[in-house]
Amino acid sequence: MRPVFLQDGNEVSFDRARVVVFPVPYEGTVSYGGGTARGPAAIIEASTQIESFNERMISVPSTCGIWTEAPLEIPDASTEQVVRRVAERFGDLMDAGKWVVMLGGEHSITPGGVAAAAARRIRSVASTRRTTTGGRSPPTPGSTTARQIAPSGISGASDASR
């Protein structure tokens, strides 16, 4: 049986899911100790112990529809290649309309998720501004942030801002 986040019986098919748990078991840049590649699996396993009813919201948040992806396969590759693979899959999930929760063990996977989200946010803000204001309004907070990210060299972000 494949590991499922929460395992509370509320997991839905990928097509019906609004949220995707995206495990990335990468361990390539740790400087002390090891085991970060086991982080996503450990989080998924521990998630079965989480109380599924939220008293403050008076609901069961997992009923929004959660799908747990199979862990991203990471062959022997450089960190840059792993970041590109993360960005590609993260972006595919976002393009499918999913809210992505990436689980990893080390910070070097983060730029892949940020690049995917930034590229889509830049396109979204640029598209909205052009269609609603003719592109003549002052920048919104989101578009300013996106424009600050784009020149930083995050793969894919600068292309989307054009």
Residue 41 pLDDT greater than 80, yes or no: yes
Residue 50 has what pLDDT?
A: 85
Does residue 64 carry a pLDDT above 70?
A: yes
pLDDT, residue 111, reads 93
Mean per-residue pLDDT over the chain, rounded: 79
Cβ–Cβ < 8 Å for 149, 114: yes
**pLDDT for 149:** 44
Q: Which of 5-14, 27-36, 38-47 has the lowest mean pLDDT?
A: 5-14
Give the pLDDT of residue 156: 43
* Predicted TM-score (pTM) of this structure: 0.73
Q: Are 105 and 39 in contact (CB under 8 A)?
A: yes
Q: Does residue 147 or residue 64 have the better pLDDT?
A: 64
The answer, yes or no, to whether residue 35 has pLDDT greater than 70, is: yes
pLDDT tens-digit profile of 85-142? Answer: 999 999 999 999 999 999 998 889 999 999 999 998 866 555 555 455 555 544 444 4
Crossing angle of helices 79-95 and 110-133, in 10° steps, is 40
Q: What is the pLDDT of residues 123-132, one digit of tens each?
A: 655 555 545 5
Q: Which CATH architecture is the domain 19-160 placed in?
A: 3-Layer(aba) Sandwich (3.40)
pLDDT above 60 (res 43): yes
Residue pair 66/22 in contact by the 8 Å Cβ criterion: no
Structural domain spans, the chain: 19-160
d(CA 83, CA 79): 6
